[in-house]
With several copies, the nearest count.
Chain A
Amino acid sequence: MDKITIQQFILMWKCALERAGERADEFSRLDAVTGDGDHGTAIVQALTSALAAAEKGNEYKAMLNDMGINVMMQTSGSTSTLIGGFLLGMSDYAAGTEMDGNQVRQMFKGGLEGVQKQTKAKKGDKTMMDALIPAVEAMLESGSDDICQLFSVAAIAAQQGANGTTGMKANFGRARNYGERSIGYADAGALSWACIFGAFNETLTGLS
């Protein structure tokens, strides 16, 4: 797949919402262990408001900006700023109504930068960054310009990263206060990002 249209891009988010909705209880339950038990609600809310804005979009840059703003308007909690920041960051690198592989890579790199404006969390801190950073790195490191291929490596990296959080001690977010006791449970935010990248990949696999 050489290019991705705005319609195809919206389908990716639709699928992400669907998959996250199926697993919302699991995410909340996990967040209840060391946090406040609402990550499932929050991620579904965020994806719902992102999608609502996306469906009115007809140009990448403005659409992504509207998605980010809508998430931060309609959604609550850490997730609103993290997903919102990601979408606004993507918007900075987006343009037109179709994007090629290299543009997609740049756009996701911009998304990561947008999140990094909001948090200092790095790989190993047991947050969603443990899924997001490897996913974007994998896209950047992949030699391929095939968009399907990009999302395939991203999905695998995100899932591996999320799995790795189980052994980690939390340094950020509510779980931080648990210290050593946070070890043994995966991070809810990392899992939900892995789920989102998985859904992106699933959509494109289905399209191609």
Chain B
Amino acid sequence: MSNKLMMKFINKPENITSELLDGYVKAYSDKVALASENIVVRAKPKDQSKVAIVTLGGSGHEPALSGFVGEGMLDCSVVGDIFAAPGAQRLFQALQLFKRDAGILLVVLNHSGDVMSANMASQLAEKAGIRVKRILTHDDISAGLETPEDDRRGLAGCIPLYKIIGAAAEEGKSLEEVYETGERFNQQVATLAVAMGSCTHPQSGETISELAKGEMEIGMGQHGEGGGGRQMLESADKTAEIMINQLTQKIQPQAGDKVLLYINGVGSTTLMELSIIFRKAHQVLTQAGVEVVDAKLDELLTVQEMAGFQMILGKLDADHVELLKNRRADTAYWTTI
């Protein structure tokens, strides 16, 4: 389309998704493969007797979602174009590939396009006799604590969910059991994002969500769509406090509860900063007697080169701790020994 000068290492904008997937599966050929255009699967498939975990979503968020395909996590990620849900037919094609008596658990992040594709693909799957159950993630709390689930977006809280249900499926649990374990976690995880600065859509060259220098926006969405309120940039400690307080209001962890606390960098914000942010949020939780048993400082789900991060807080039941921490996972961007 546009002929804007983009400060990105790409070739033709329309080939970005196919080229990046090609590079990715070549780099990690012992872990992943392309089953067909835009359908990423494990290099060594899981036994047919076990529940398959399938997800879908746009590209441009690397390593998410395809970076978590592999032993102990996802069986398949169906990839759309940059920031765009894959079409329903493509998803249906993947569901056909994973048709099995044990069933498929489909994880859908709550975004209009993904939900519409999932709805239509599910109708087609039902007609084709494919057994599919769905978890809809809606961890974003930026729309307000009382906002109904359907109106809350799915952010990076899906990543620990993949680990939990992936491990449960790997154990040979039934579709209902895997679903129940995952949905229970899904109900008790919350995410809040903050951004400063903008990013460039690598195909259109459009600048998404321009913020004035010195401004930040708490409640930013995953594609640069705003949501929360803009305010002047605060110190790391102040920002961390604002965010962890909103998250604990939602999750209400009690003294003695076990939680996960992840800081997901969305692009150009450094691990240096994520560590400083984590430090404060961890202090707040610890002072309240809440036990952080699982932590990550990493880029799990990104928004191109945007500056900012997502803070993820999840209450963990005993089985969740076990599945997250003590079950093997071997994917390109998440490994648990």
Tell whether A pairs with B: yes
Closest to A178 in B: B226
User: Would you list which residues of chain A between 24 and 79 have a CB under 8 Å from chain B?
Assistant: 24-25, 28-29, 31-32, 34-38, 40-42, 44-45, 69, 71-79
User: Would you list which residues of chain B between 1 and 29 have a CB under 8 Å from chain A?
Assistant: 1-2
Known: A28-B206, A78-B113, A172-B112. Is A73-B120 also a contact (CB below 8 A)? no
User: Would you list which residues of chain B between 77 and 132 have a CB under 8 Å from chain A?
Assistant: 80-90, 93, 111-113, 116-117, 119-120
Question: Would you call the interface of chain B mostly helix, strand, loop, or mixed?
Answer: loop
Are the CB atoms of A41 and B120 closer together than 8 Å?
no
Are the CB atoms of B224 and A41 closer together than 8 Å?
no
Are the CB atoms of B225 and A77 closer together than 8 Å?
no
Minimum C-beta distance from A13 to chain B (A): 18
In the complex, whether B204 has a CB less than 8 A from a CB of chain A is yes
Minimum C-beta distance from B227 to chain A (A): 4
Minimum C-beta distance from B111 to chain A (A): 7
Contacts of A41 in B (CB 8 A): 1, 81, 203-204
Are the CB atoms of A76 and B80 closer together than 8 Å?
yes
Contacts of B151 in A (CB 8 A): 176
Are the CB atoms of B204 and A85 closer together than 8 Å?
no
CA distance A143 to B143 in the complex (A): 46
Are the CB atoms of A40 and B87 closer together than 8 Å?
no
Are the CB atoms of B204 and A77 closer together than 8 Å?
no
Number of A-B contacts (CB under 8 A): 139
Contacts of A205 in B (CB 8 A): none
User: Would you list which residues of chain B between 151 and 192 have a CB under 8 Å from chain A?
Assistant: 151, 153
Contacts of A40 in B (CB 8 A): 1, 204
Contacts of B88 in A (CB 8 A): 72, 80-81, 84
* A29, A41, A45, A178 pick with most chain B CB within 10 angstroms: A41
Are the CB atoms of A38 and B120 closer together than 8 Å?
no
Question: Would you call the interface of chain A mostly helix, strand, loop, or mixed?
Answer: helix
In the complex, whether B67 has a CB less than 8 A from a CB of chain A is no
In the complex, whether B142 has a CB less than 8 A from a CB of chain A is yes
Are the CB atoms of A80 and B206 closer together than 8 Å?
no
In the complex, whether B207 has a CB less than 8 A from a CB of chain A is yes
Contacts of A85 in B (CB 8 A): 116, 120
CA distance A75 to B203 in the complex (A): 14
Find A174's partner among B86, B111, B142 (CB 8 Å cutoff): B111
Q: How large is the interface on A (under 10, 10 to 19, 20 to 34, 35 or more residues)?
A: 35 or more
CA distance A44 to B84 in the complex (A): 14
Find A77's partner among B1, B80, B93, B153 (CB 8 Å cutoff): B80
* A35, A72, A181 pick with most chain B CB within 10 angstroms: A72
CA distance A69 to B89 in the complex (A): 6
In the complex, whether A177 has a CB less than 8 A from a CB of chain B is yes
CA distance A151 to B90 in the complex (A): 33
CA distance A85 to B117 in the complex (A): 10
In the complex, whether B197 has a CB less than 8 A from a CB of chain A is no
In the complex, whether B308 has a CB less than 8 A from a CB of chain A is no
In the complex, whether A173 has a CB less than 8 A from a CB of chain B is yes
In the complex, whether A175 has a CB less than 8 A from a CB of chain B is yes
Are the CB atoms of B143 and A177 closer together than 8 Å?
yes
In the complex, whether A135 has a CB less than 8 A from a CB of chain B is no
Are the CB atoms of A76 and B58 closer together than 8 Å?
yes
In the complex, whether B221 has a CB less than 8 A from a CB of chain A is yes
CA distance A24 to B206 in the complex (A): 12
Known: A36-B224, A81-B113, A118-B120. Is A73-B1 also a contact (CB below 8 A)? no
Closest to A71 in B: B87
Known: A76-B81, A174-B112. Is A84-B87 also a contact (CB below 8 A)? yes
Known: A77-B85, A177-B226, A178-B225. Is A118-B208 also a contact (CB below 8 A)? no
Minimum C-beta distance from A130 to chain B (A): 15
Are the CB atoms of A75 and B87 closer together than 8 Å?
yes
In the complex, whether A142 has a CB less than 8 A from a CB of chain B is no
Are the CB atoms of A25 and B85 closer together than 8 Å?
no
A-B residue pairs in contact (CB < 8 Å), sample of 15: A32-B201, A32-B204, A32-B208, A35-B223, A36-B201, A37-B224, A41-B1, A41-B203, A41-B204, A76-B58, A80-B86, A80-B87, A85-B116, A176-B151, A177-B221
**A contacts, CB < 8 Å to B:** 24-25, 28-29, 31-32, 34-38, 40-42, 44-45, 69, 71-82, 84-85, 117-119, 172-178, 181
**B contacts, CB < 8 Å to A:** 1-2, 58, 80-90, 93, 111-113, 116-117, 119-120, 142-143, 151, 153, 201, 203-204, 206-209, 219, 221, 223-227
Further pairs besides A28-B1, A38-B82, A69-B89: 12, Cβ < 8 Å: A25-B204, A32-B207, A34-B225, A36-B201, A38-B203, A41-B204, A78-B84, A78-B113, A79-B113, A80-B85, A84-B120, A177-B221
